[in-house]
Structure 1
Amino acid sequence: MTYRTLAGAAALLTATVLAVTAPVAAQAAPAAAATPCGASAMVKETLPNGTTWQMCWRINDKAGLVLDHVFVATKRYPQPVQVLDSIRLAQLNVPYDTGDTEYNDLTAIGMGGYGLETLTGDDCKGGSIRLGSDGGGDPTQRKVLCVSAEPRGLAYRLHSYEWDEGTEESKETVYSQQGHDLVLRTISKLGWYEYVTEYRLHDDGQITARLGATGDLAPSEYSTSSNGWPIGKAARDYATMHYHNAFWRVDFNIAGKGGEKVEQYDTTLNGRGSMTAKLNTKKTAIAKEGTFSKVNQRWWRMVSPTSKNADGHNRSYEIVTTGGDKYEGHPETKPDITFSQKNGCEKWASDNASDPECPLNIQTVVDFVKNKETLTDPVAWVRVGFHHVPRDEDQSPMPMHWQGFELVPRDFTEMNPLTPAALAGANGNTSGNTSGN
């Protein structure tokens, strides 16, 4: 079946939702968000659970797909609230283990321009294709953006037991719901590799940014057993191992107010309780620019100092970095995340293009933060590495492998935005025991 698009918005698509088990209940359309782009550059779609995402999209000749002015509204909270000012790739650094080959794919080749592929075949099966230019100056409109709604599995499940005073019996209710994502993706061909830039906007407000790599192994990049893996007959051809160091630039604008604060949380052992170890979680305010790395039980969030949810808690988004290989060959590829003060000259995480009006000494994210500016308008540069050790199964074509991270709402709403109506009052400790659970 297909899911509803919002009436009155121009150029909206109808994408196919797979495996939807029940029709969407009728509801009033959420108010429009203030997005400064025309209808052809806007995506505004409502998922089966009633969540509406709205944003502008464009193609940059180097970064490829860029999302601007990203808003979310849900069935429970129909007023659109801004999450991001923009999100895009900021570099793809590919050094080979021989030490003789290295690429900065975005600045040297580009995910847009001639590298941007025209979608065809199964590239957008079940979705809808948008026309757009390649960002490289060619005004020709091509099929470049796939927009689709895709099941993401079980959104929640709760087996509830409640006492019914009328029957004096325990009443059992199972609350269970499938979730869906609004997915935007483009494909770029850079040499032998083909890259899928993908943003998955979940119906609970979460955003997943990821880069998929497919295509083929480069036939010119074969070496020896010391830094390659045997591909083909016997032990004759060794496909060289290499890294994919992907960077994203994330600029928040929570509730359109900006001025987010960066906070780091670390959890450590703190003695023992009566049964097990006690843990203590400490918040550290990051007031100045810097580079940071993931350690056990450490995470970061971008929090609005002014915008609050209905419980009076400051809205924020947590930056969740998952497993990734750290490349030690460059200073800029070592940090997992860098927070810098917003600066128009700081465009690319490495090989930052020189501009006649910009300083020449800001070539990497490490350079961006050397002067330790106070963070009043922070930008997050997120790095996720992947060490590609080729295998026989990589030919041919190469199976897709992914690397990325997640932006998870934290106190953005006072309850799960997908909470069923029957549980609308289950906010806080409802057991009557105010001492905690």
Structure 2
Amino acid sequence: MRVNSNTKARTRAAAGLTVAALAAGATAGAGPATAQPKAAPAAAPAADCSAAYRIEQKLSSGTTWRMCWRYDGKAGLVLEKISYQPKGEPKPIRVLNSARLGQIHVPYDDGSVEYDDLTGFDFAQGLMNLAPGECPGGTIKSVKVPDSWNEDPNVKGLCTTTRSRGHAYRMQGDTANKVFQAQGKDLLVYTVNQVGWYEYMTEWRFQDDGAITMNVGATGSLSWDDYDAGDGRGWPIGKGASAKSTSHSHNAFWRLDFALDGSTKNKVEQYDSAVTAPTRGQRAPTTKTTRTKVTKELAGDSKAYRWWRMVSATGKNKDGHARSYEIVPGVTTKYPGRSYTKRDLYVTQYNKCELFASHNPGNCGPGAGKSVDKWVNGQTLTHPVVWMNIGFHHIARDEDQQPMPVHWQGFSIAPRDVTAMNPLTPAELGWQNGHWQPRR
């Protein structure tokens, strides 16, 4: 679904996405946009960057997110120095050093072509201008595209806005005389990059409860000159079965450099649970969970009853528990055709040269390899970097034309013991921490 190389140097036109399409399919539970983000008070601590490259948003529930942004010539939008400050916390809590896409790998089912959109097909050059209606209630920032093909390298291409996501919680007491409920709010940061016929929406959702969701949404158009899957693998599009759209995969990688509490010396842990059938005298099966400390580089697979977390080496919450973030994989179709797409998660020791999960352009030293799987070679983890691989097998359908509805793929990281209680806890329930007795 690509255009000829001589048509790639396109002028940046406003992307033809409707507000309805923008809100249609977010994996984090999209809702209607809310009011224009308000500037944080001048006295609040700011992210360590100039005002033009700073994103700072206090959500209506009291949580403030702060970060810096820049635009990379291959990766596109890069978010850095990301911190989270819920109400009741005296200062921002650093979460991530940097967060960015690590690759979008697109192999076609018939074996005719495969693309690495970030390093091989000018993803970053395809940044699109956004119309005001695509950033409802928010602000569109101007982005200077490095080495731009266009006369004017400045693109109005970065949207920051807020959005409701539905219930953050609901609790009704035993006496049924009061319902505690709140509607969750998110800071939404996104860009649109055109690659051939596709338009990729790179979306970051920063929730008021401390979770972060990363999504890539593919929309745009099916390629009319791609309806030639003569090998029988394609899906018929249009009248009859003469035109078949070639099926393909989108394997999206993200690269997360954690810095919990401001330190990159984080610890990685893997948890696995085993369920055993009930023995005599037991009313139900038993489940035992074991923790494995991951001290060396890891190539891991998601499976039932398995999860990972990144643990702060320096910070604890008010209960004395180490702060951490749990990695929550999204729905994925793992592509087995390449060595680097055979695993769901990689944890590598930081190397400033290791930036893209496949066809990495940097020279990382003799024998280092050009893909993330080659970098897992037994190094001790003192500065762990997480690479997440989420795949989508796109078998086209009649409904994909015209334009193609957004199909989303992504994952989340969720706070685990970052705060002593739910950061959105109402004040009158704040005393119910740990073992408590009903008040008389």
Matches within 5 A, 1:18-417: 31-33=44-46, 35-113=47-125, 115-120=126-131, 122-136=133-147, 140-161=153-174, 170=175, 172-221=177-226, 222-224=228-230, 226-272=232-278, 274-355=282-363, 358-359=365-366, 361-370=368-377, 372-417=378-423
Q: Distance in 1 between matches of 2:231 and 2:115?
A: 22
Amino acid at match of 1:329: G
1:427: Cα distance to partner? Answer: 0.6
Amino acid at match of 2:371: T
Q: Distance in 2 between matches of 1:322 and 1:297?
A: 14
Give unmatched runs, 5+ long, in structure 1.
10-28, 162-169, 433-437
Q: Distance in 2 between matches of 1:317 and 1:233?
A: 50
Q: Distance in 2 between matches of 1:4 and 1:345?
A: 36
Given that residues 57 and 66 in structure 1 are in contact (C-alpha distance below 8 angstroms), is that contact kept between their aligned partners in structure 2? Answer: yes
Given that residues 197 and 212 in structure 1 are in contact (C-alpha distance below 8 angstroms), is that contact kept between their aligned partners in structure 2? Answer: yes
Amino acid at match of 2:372: V
1:429: Cα distance to partner? Answer: 1.8
Amino acid at match of 2:186: D
Q: Distance in 1 between matches of 2:40 and 2:235?
A: 55
1:78: Cα distance to partner? Answer: 4.2
Q: Distance in 1 between matches of 2:394 and 2:83?
A: 35
Given that residues 248 and 381 in structure 1 are in contact (C-alpha distance below 8 angstroms), is that contact kept between their aligned partners in structure 2? Answer: yes
Given that residues 77 and 417 in structure 1 are in contact (C-alpha distance below 8 angstroms), is that contact kept between their aligned partners in structure 2? Answer: no
Given that residues 93 and 246 in structure 1 are in contact (C-alpha distance below 8 angstroms), is that contact kept between their aligned partners in structure 2? Answer: yes
Q: Distance in 1 between matches of 2:153 and 2:334?
A: 39
Change (3 A) 1:242 1:312: same
Given that residues 307 and 315 in structure 1 are in contact (C-alpha distance below 8 angstroms), is that contact kept between their aligned partners in structure 2? Answer: yes
1:62: Cα distance to partner? Answer: 1.0
Q: Distance in 2 between matches of 1:270 and 1:312?
A: 33
Given that residues 187 and 207 in structure 2 are in contact (C-alpha distance below 8 angstroms), is that contact kept between their aligned partners in structure 1? Answer: yes
* Residues 247-275 of structure 1 deviation map (CA, whole Å, 9 limit, x = unaligned): 00001000102211110001111342622
Change (3 A) 1:312 1:149: same
Given that residues 345 and 358 in structure 1 are in contact (C-alpha distance below 8 angstroms), is that contact kept between their aligned partners in structure 2? Answer: no
Amino acid at match of 1:132: V
Q: Distance in 1 between matches of 2:87 and 2:56?
A: 15
1:314: Cα distance to partner? Answer: 0.4
Amino acid at match of 1:87: A
* Residues 41-85 of structure 1 deviation map (CA, whole Å, 9 limit, x = unaligned): 000011110111000011111111110000111122242110000
Runs of 4+ residues over 4 Å off in structure 1: none
* Residues 69-118 of structure 1 deviation map (CA, whole Å, 9 limit, x = unaligned): 001111222421100000000000000000111000000123322x1111
Give unmatched runs, 5+ long, in structure 2.
1-33
Matched length: 400
SS of alignment partner, residue 381 of structure 1 = strand
* Residues 108-140 of structure 1 deviation map (CA, whole Å, 9 limit, x = unaligned): 123322x11111253223321111212336884
Aligned-residue sequence identity (percent) comes to 45
SS of alignment partner, residue 48 of structure 1 = coil
Q: Distance in 1 between matches of 2:106 and 2:351?
A: 26
Amino acid at match of 2:225: S
Q: Distance in 1 between matches of 2:420 and 2:353?
A: 38
Q: Distance in 2 between matches of 1:310 and 1:348?
A: 38
Given that residues 271 and 279 in structure 1 are in contact (C-alpha distance below 8 angstroms), is that contact kept between their aligned partners in structure 2? Answer: no
Q: Distance in 1 between matches of 2:214 and 2:143?
A: 21
Given that residues 97 and 227 in structure 1 are in contact (C-alpha distance below 8 angstroms), is that contact kept between their aligned partners in structure 2? Answer: yes
Amino acid at match of 1:92: I
- Of the two structures, which has the highest relative contact order with CA contacts closer than 8 Å and spacing of 6 or more? 2
